[in-house]
Chains A and B, each alone.
Chain A
Amino acid sequence: MAKIGVDVGGTFTDLILESEKISGSSGGVLVHKVPSTPEDQSIGVIQGIVEICDMAGVALGDIEQIVHGTTIATNAVIEYDGAEVGMLTTRGFRDILLLARGKRPHNFSMQFDVPWQSKPLVKRRNRIPISERILPPDGRVEVALDEGEVREAAELLGKRNVDAVIICFIYSFLNNAHEQRAKQIVKEILPDTYVSCSSEVADVIREYERFSTAAMNAFVGPRTSFYLGNLQKALRDKGVGAEIRVMQSNGGVTTIEGGSERPVTILMSGPAGGVTGGKWAGDLSGVENLITVDIGGTSADISVVPRGEVRIMNPRDTNIGGYPILAPMIDLATIGAGGGSIAYVDEGGAFRVGPRSAGANPGPACYGKGGTEPTVTDAQVVLGRLDAEQFLGGGVAIDPALSAKAIEDNLCGKLNMGVEQAALGIIRVINSNMALEIRANSVAKGIDPRDYSLVAFGGAGPLHGVALAETVAAREALVPPAPGINAATGLLATDMQYEFTRSALISISEADQSELDALNGQLDELVAQAGEALAADGVAPEERKFTRIAECRYQGQGFELRAEFPEGVVGGDNKQVLIDNFHESHRRDYGHAFDDQNIEIITLRVIAAAAADKLIWPKLPAGQGDNPADAVMYARPTTFDSGETLETPRYDRAKLLAGQTVTGPAIVIQHDSTTLIPPGHVAEVSEYGNLRVRATA
């Protein structure tokens, strides 16, 4: 039996296969890369699966599980290529999606674009007002639903052949009866159209964010479910009977059906795999506090994982392409810094690196595909850190002379520097940009990097890892065994996970028994709902794990933070545990807590998880000694960040054994990644093949 993780990226589709039997050995893992097929991702996915099974000698029918990281939903947003959506909304509030939060995306600009106006998820003509009115604070009905208007609207949208209909009424989080009734009527008239209510997709307060989430779900829904359905069918046609799982933005997996019904939950599928992969690598070495840094061609994703717990972003910050999305996502920050980031001197004479990128095409100057501007990769080449013949296992031809020329032509004159000095400058600026982002996501949030290991992966990660760890004062840099396909490994290292929310405005400090009873009732319902989702996936009751969370704020504040409920019925003594958890959460994020203030709950959230078997990486045979001679490939001059150029040996990562150490200056080479170990640092090869790089002395 075998499991496969398959992660689709912009350029490559990465695969990993785990099996107790792989041809030529007793079992273990195999990794593979195939070119991505942007016109239809499933072509590359299927080709990759067929190839990796072939390499492993595993029959397609013997695959037990496939976990998929996909950019299909995200691409629909980025390309603005989604469904035609119709919307029924409360009369008087037709333009909630257009007015958004009223804040323009640029302070100092006249010619700015407003994506939610120029690229609406629902065209204005398809936003149809309906007479109905629910009032706060108790959800009473002031104006009854006009069912005749609902019918007319449904018929009109039917004539316009919309792909999906959403029903978004003001205050539906207090009382969803109008939304539900309208849905029923629309379903009668348009039985084959996907119809959903805002209170189903995100049952929370704040009209714009709720409507936007419902609209996004409908916008990406048809394309996503078509893709997933199609992929499943194509795999079945090839005789693959495996269960298929899709990575969600929150780091858990869902089923094909789950991803199709709630595609807003898989918008960050790809980057989430990277973070879970980073956490998995930490687990291999028993390290709990991690900063994961995934550096690709154009961008770097940064996430902080304290005590082995992947953090979820504050729902106020979760947006995709400028549209707010109330779906749980791993807390990660993306900046425009990668191997392809372009270095240049701007009009005012400032030296810049990124966010503009040479991308895959033309790519860095050294690719010889027409790129003339110097990139971060060109700087690494000039400094002797990327050997031409080793680039992607020798699969890509690069020309170091072109790198030097690009730096010489574009930078040296303007900066009054030599090529090497300018190349060092490129590295220093890009590392500084990444380090600032790491600090903004750690130090600024009350996390002390000195207790953390920085996990560096992605094709370019291990070249920067040690420098970044040092700049942010992390304990060490940790390079996973297969850093180039780490996001794919993350797919085989995740749990099943579902989240359900409900709006519940309660002052927890002042709640009386009847309010607490109601709260407990709501929590029980959410737990039951979440339990059903796991049951549908065949998870036995004893394997289900529930986390109950209150999203709270001090009364009068506008932003919530998460606090976990203690076990058992909420009331009496254990209420204080929740209150203390919230104070602690506030203290961690802002450095202050107001211990005498009332706390109000805004949203209840239940996370249901079931542990899945995690990818088991084969242990390396034990070895010993420093700088093992039989792993040395050759030595070459290499320039380090300090400016020193040293004759630096290259080690073949495949030949390094557990327990061995490599003392810098050194470079460790593997198929798709290169680890830089500067002088004064030593890398220790761990039992499972992680490289842990620390300063000596």
Chain B
Amino acid sequence: MSTIEVDPITLQVIGGALHTIAKEMGHVLYRMSYSSIIRESEDLGAGLFDANCNTLCESDSTPMHIGSIPAYLRGIEETLHDPWQPGDVVIHNHPYYGASHSPDIAAVAPVFYEGELVGFSANTAHHVDIGAATPGLIIDAPDVFAEGMLFKGVKLYEGGVRNRALWHFISANTRVPDQVLGDIEAQVASVELGVKRFIELLDLYGKDVVFAATEQLMDYSEAMLRKQIALIPDGEYRAEGFLDDDGRNRGITLPVKVCVRIAGDSAEVDLTGSSPQVPTAFNVPFEGSTKVACYFAFRAMLLDSAVISEHVPQNEGSFRPIKVTAPLGSIFNPKYPAAAEARFNQIQRVVDCIIKALAPVIPDKVTAGCSADVSAIAYSGVRPEGNYWVFIEVNEGAYGGRPESDGPDGIEELMRNTRNNPIEDLGMHLPLICDRYELRDDVMPGAGEYRGGIGAIKVQRYLTDGFLTHESDRHEDVPWGFRGGTAGAGARLQKFNIASPDKVENLPAKIHGLRNETGDCIGVLAACGGGYGDPLARSPEQVREDVLDDYCTVAHAKESYGVVLDSELEIDGAATAARRDEMRAAAE
């Protein structure tokens, strides 16, 4: 512990420098990478850490990765085969040693200064295929070893010397070696840059000042969050929901139970009562994923970057006020060797339930129910030339209505914030073609003074035979409405062949290694958000605008908003007043 007190001005200067370094590390990683999930989707995180694995700075890329790296570092500390030395780069992805899940491989380089280990430069990135039993993604797996290659503190570079055998091994154990090796190269370049910048920073300001400053910056982030938590009345706030199934045992839903305890300026998220761990990969690594989700929820609601103009540095400080509890052996804290690759839908629901639990006491900081899921889909096949193609697509969700605005439509929500892939770029490079990509028109979102966001439909057509694995949820438990707003609409997964587009088969949200034939089309329909506030508080004029834009049907306008439009789509004032009176009366 340092005893230096860094003045507020130097603190701001060092804080700015750290922020810039993390940004630069993230930039190099995604611009240099090969797989679309990193380069287009930016499914990555990067930053600097002190020798105690505390985050000093992290790139503002994808929330899931932000805050997950410290657990990786602690896992590496436990498992590293030989002591750190300058020039090392270690890779690690073991979910029982801190990894977020196995496809998110971390690259970590130690930072030595004047002969002493002072910290780490690290990043994580989602790899498109690590040689699991099924291409790209896996759900119905017996244990963690079925997920593919596991790296437990393995040196990819030792003292600056490349471990060629390891590279060779990796190349032989993934279906898409060019992409995976290229992406790891990008990760190495990014951590090397971080080491260089970290040392420059130490040279410039001195080690003691830099580390004293980083401690103060952590205290600052902690103080900012505690101030906000303190404004919430003390108490226990509960919410629950359920997940469709575990991907194998159809029809058996899995409860998610959240209790948020607020005491002064601290919070606890207790997940006791949620489902026991499941026999598939639909479990959540505790350190690298469950905890990260809870940290995210508080930061997003209480330090909302669209509301608070100051940049609150991303570091360990914002985690300190929050304690996370999940019993060992539960879906949110599985026991070794349970598989835990498919964890994203569950943690989205944790965030969703935290929001729902606190909504009554902080209604101006929340949204109604978001889609709060993920549609992660692995398309794959073998090209006529004989080589494998694997493509992981993440389909966006939608937000619930908000205190002063509609829920955004077709957008990445909560823990995820990746970019979609340009349809045209994919069509030029993969035997897969997108036939439809627009907002759903088969359902309406939750009605409210502010409506829920509308999810998109995306249809992809196979141009070769191939496989499909889809990791999703939310077909059964529909996004909730709030303060009189109505519930949204569930997600759907459909399959049909281009030759018979009317013969549509509805599939469950979790599909594992499904074989597809040329011409088969997969339609992913995202959940729509719940409404916020009384639909009758939405002005008839606004409802009419929605109808003109096809965000709302004429029937839905009348049914849910009590707005009656004539054949010219003009408001029928008298009929609207009558219908609204009738609805108010019925509600009483």
Interface positions of A (Cβ within 8 A of B): 92-96, 98-99, 101-104, 106-114, 117-118, 123-125, 135-137, 170-171, 173, 205-209, 345-353, 355-356, 415, 425, 428-429, 432-433, 436, 439-440, 444, 505, 554, 556-559, 589-592, 594
A-B contact pairs, 26 of them (CB 8 A): A93-B438, A94-B438, A96-B437, A98-B409, A101-B420, A102-B410, A103-B419, A110-B402, A135-B433, A170-B423, A207-B424, A345-B8, A349-B220, A350-B8, A351-B9, A351-B11, A352-B310, A425-B8, A428-B9, A429-B9, A556-B34, A557-B33, A590-B28, A590-B189, A591-B28, A594-B185
Is residue B477 contacting chain A, with contact meaning CB distance below 8 A?
no
Check A558–B36 contact: CB distance below 8 A: yes
B290-319 CB mask vs A (1 if < 8 Å, else 0) is 000000100111011111011010000000
Q: Which residues of A contact B33 (CB under 8 A)?
A: 557-558
Check B220–A98 contact: CB distance below 8 A: no
Given A113-B405, A557-B39, A99-B312 contact (CB < 8 Å): no
Given A108-B303, A425-B9, A556-B179, A205-B424 contact (CB < 8 Å): yes
Give the distance in Å from the alpha carbon of A459 to the alpha carbon of B421 in the complex. Answer: 43
Q: Which residues of B contact A125 (CB under 8 A)?
A: 548-550
Give the distance in Å from the alpha carbon of A439 to the alpha carbon of B33 in the complex. Answer: 23
Q: Which residues of B contact A104 (CB under 8 A)?
A: 408, 411-413, 417
Q: Which residues of B contact A558 (CB under 8 A)?
A: 33, 36, 39-40, 425
Contact of A346 among B179, B310, B550 (CB under 8 A): B310
Nearest A residue to B217, CB-CB? A350
A592 to chain B, nearest CB (A): 5
Check B296–A429 contact: CB distance below 8 A: no
Check B63–A108 contact: CB distance below 8 A: yes
Check B437–A95 contact: CB distance below 8 A: yes
Which residues of chain B from 1 to 57 have any CB-CB distance to chain A below 8 Å in the complex? Answer: 7-9, 11-13, 15-17, 20, 23-24, 27-28, 31-36, 39-40, 42
Other than the given A108-B300, A111-B304, 6 more pairs (CB < 8 A) read A96-B438, A108-B305, A137-B428, A346-B310, A425-B8, A592-B32
A202 to chain B, nearest CB (A): 12
Contact of B39 among A101, A113, A135, A559 (CB under 8 A): A559
Check A111–B36 contact: CB distance below 8 A: no
Q: Which residues of A contact B42 (CB under 8 A)?
A: 103
Give the distance in Å from the alpha carbon of A415 to the alpha carbon of B548 in the complex. Answer: 55
Is residue B404 contacting chain A, with contact meaning CB distance below 8 A?
yes
The 6 closest A-B pairs by CB, nearest first: A558-B39, A92-B436, A136-B427, A124-B549, A102-B420, A351-B8
B226 to chain A, nearest CB (A): 9
Q: Which residues of B contact A351 (CB under 8 A)?
A: 8-9, 11-12
Check A111–B223 contact: CB distance below 8 A: no
Is residue B360 contacting chain A, with contact meaning CB distance below 8 A?
no
Q: Which residues of A contact B437 (CB under 8 A)?
A: 92-93, 95-96, 99
Q: Which residues of A contact B227 (CB under 8 A)?
A: 347-348
Is residue B551 contacting chain A, with contact meaning CB distance below 8 A?
yes
Check A207–B422 contact: CB distance below 8 A: yes
Contact of B189 among A206, A356, A425, A592 (CB under 8 A): A592
Contact of A111 among B193, B306, B436, B551 (CB under 8 A): B306
Q: Which residues of A contact B305 (CB under 8 A)?
A: 106-109, 112
Contact of A432 among B13, B35, B310, B405 (CB under 8 A): B13
Give the distance in Å from the alpha carbon of A308 to the alpha carbon of B27 in the complex. Answer: 26
B294 to chain A, nearest CB (A): 14
Nearest A residue to B549, CB-CB? A124
Give the distance in Å from the alpha carbon of A94 to the alpha carbon of B23 in the complex. Answer: 34
Is residue B105 contacting chain A, with contact meaning CB distance below 8 A?
no
Is residue B439 contacting chain A, with contact meaning CB distance below 8 A?
yes
Given A104-B417, A590-B28, A350-B11 contact (CB < 8 Å): yes
Give the distance in Å from the alpha carbon of A135 to the alpha carbon of B463 in the complex. Answer: 12
Check B439–A136 contact: CB distance below 8 A: no
Q: Which residues of A contact B549 (CB under 8 A)?
A: 123-125
Is residue B208 contacting chain A, with contact meaning CB distance below 8 A?
no
Give the distance in Å from the alpha carbon of A591 to the alpha carbon of B404 in the complex. Answer: 46
Q: Which residues of B contact A106 (CB under 8 A)?
A: 304-306
Check B23–A440 contact: CB distance below 8 A: yes
Is residue B403 contacting chain A, with contact meaning CB distance below 8 A?
yes
B393 to chain A, nearest CB (A): 11
Nearest B residue to A205, CB-CB? B424
Give the distance in Å from the alpha carbon of A125 to the alpha carbon of B305 in the complex. Answer: 32
Contact of B16 among A94, A112, A171, A432 (CB under 8 A): A432
Q: Which residues of B contact A444 (CB under 8 A)?
A: 24, 27
Which residues of chain B from 524 to 545 have any CB-CB distance to chain A below 8 Å in the complex? Answer: none
Give the distance in Å from the alpha carbon of A136 to the alpha carbon of B426 in the complex. Answer: 10
Is residue B224 contacting chain A, with contact meaning CB distance below 8 A?
yes
Given A99-B438, A206-B424, A558-B425, A108-B304 contact (CB < 8 Å): yes
Give the distance in Å from the alpha carbon of A140 to the alpha carbon of B175 in the complex. Answer: 31
Check B66–A107 contact: CB distance below 8 A: yes
Check A113–B306 contact: CB distance below 8 A: yes
Q: Which residues of A contact B486 (CB under 8 A)?
A: none
Nearest A residue to B300, CB-CB? A108
Give the distance in Å from the alpha carbon of A351 to the alpha carbon of B418 in the complex. Answer: 32
Is residue B125 contacting chain A, with contact meaning CB distance below 8 A?
no
Q: Which residues of B contact A124 (CB under 8 A)?
A: 549-551
Check B425–A206 contact: CB distance below 8 A: yes
Give the distance in Å from the alpha carbon of A118 to the alpha carbon of B550 in the complex. Answer: 15
Give the distance in Å from the alpha carbon of A112 to the alpha carbon of B42 in the complex. Answer: 20
B29 to chain A, nearest CB (A): 10
Check B307–A111 contact: CB distance below 8 A: yes
A127 to chain B, nearest CB (A): 9
A326 to chain B, nearest CB (A): 12
Nearest B residue to A444, CB-CB? B24
Q: Which residues of A contact B419 (CB under 8 A)?
A: 101-103
Check A205–B8 contact: CB distance below 8 A: no
Contact of A103 among B296, B367, B412 (CB under 8 A): B412
Q: Which residues of B contact A136 (CB under 8 A)?
A: 424, 427-428, 433
Q: Which residues of B contact A350 (CB under 8 A)?
A: 8, 11-12, 15, 220, 310
Is residue B435 contacting chain A, with contact meaning CB distance below 8 A?
yes
Q: Which residues of B contact A171 (CB under 8 A)?
A: 424, 427
Q: Which residues of A contact B548 (CB under 8 A)?
A: 125
Is residue B465 contacting chain A, with contact meaning CB distance below 8 A?
no
Check A556–B9 contact: CB distance below 8 A: no
Contact of A110 among B40, B221, B300, B433 (CB under 8 A): B300
Contact of A590 among B13, B17, B32 (CB under 8 A): B32
Q: Which residues of A contact B551 (CB under 8 A)?
A: 124
Nearest B residue to A209, CB-CB? B422
Give the distance in Å from the alpha carbon of A444 to the alpha carbon of B189 in the complex. Answer: 13
B186-206 CB mask vs A (1 if < 8 Å, else 0) is 000100010000000000000
Check A348–B223 contact: CB distance below 8 A: yes
Give the distance in Å from the alpha carbon of A206 to the alpha carbon of B425 in the complex. Answer: 6
Nearest B residue to A344, CB-CB? B310
B208 to chain A, nearest CB (A): 20
Nearest B residue to A129, CB-CB? B438
B190 to chain A, nearest CB (A): 10
Q: Which residues of B contact A353 (CB under 8 A)?
A: 12
Is residue B366 contacting chain A, with contact meaning CB distance below 8 A?
yes
Contact of B427 among A93, A137, A347 (CB under 8 A): A137
Is residue B396 contacting chain A, with contact meaning CB distance below 8 A?
yes
**Among B12, B60, B189, B424: residue with most chain A CB under 10 A:** B424
Nearest B residue to A348, CB-CB? B224
Check A102–B36 contact: CB distance below 8 A: no
Is residue B377 contacting chain A, with contact meaning CB distance below 8 A?
no
Give the distance in Å from the alpha carbon of A117 to the alpha carbon of B456 in the complex. Answer: 14
**Among B223, B301, B419, B437: residue with most chain A CB under 10 A:** B437
Nearest B residue to A590, CB-CB? B32
Give the distance in Å from the alpha carbon of A324 to the alpha carbon of B437 in the complex. Answer: 19
Given A110-B300, A590-B28, A557-B12 contact (CB < 8 Å): no
Is residue B581 contacting chain A, with contact meaning CB distance below 8 A?
no
Nearest A residue to B453, CB-CB? A117
Check A111–B404 contact: CB distance below 8 A: yes
Give the distance in Å from the alpha carbon of A87 to the alpha carbon of B500 in the complex. Answer: 30
Q: Which residues of B contact A592 (CB under 8 A)?
A: 32, 185, 189
